[in-house]
Amino acid sequence: MYATIRQHGAVAGVDSTSNSISNSISNSISNSISNSISNSTSERMLRIVQAMKGEMGVRELMEVMGMKSRPMFLNNNLTPALMAGLLERTQPESPNSPTQRYRLTEAGKERLKMRAARRNAASAFFVDEHVT
């Protein structure tokens, strides 16, 4: 009987609907996870950009950011900021140098300016709201 129903497409229709729903759910979960990871990565990159004062080494940055695990700091904070072009190495030809330091790129400086402008605009909005 299964073979007969399958030949007429009844099961195939159910299978394709089931696959469609399954793919939709899978894509939704995947997008949600990606957005969550993106948001947390973006927040960490913003924190490291805000923490930068001139040129700083890994230990200095970790201390300023209150981080203790070097591998976690490198994987979750420094590397994404480098890859996003917000930070650059002072010795790009020697990435593993013990004297390696990092500084903001122009994009990183611009990100800081944008953040400050947003913060100022938000505080001005709230001040205006309370005055009127």
Amino acid of residue 117 = A
User: Which domains can be identified in the chain, with CATH numbers?
Assistant: 38-131 (1.10.10.10)
What pLDDT is attached to residue 125? Answer: 64
pTM over 0.85: no
Q: List the structure tokens of 101.
A: 């330091």
- Burial status of residue 66 (CB atoms within 10 A of its CB: 0-12, 13-18, 19 or more): exposed
pLDDT per residue as tens digits for the range 45-104:
889 999 999 999 999 999 999 999 999 999 999 999 999 999 999 999 999 999 999 999
What pLDDT is attached to residue 73? Answer: 95
Secondary structure element (H or E) that encloses residue 49, with its range? helix 10-51
pLDDT per residue as tens digits for the range 30-50:
444 444 445 567 888 889 999
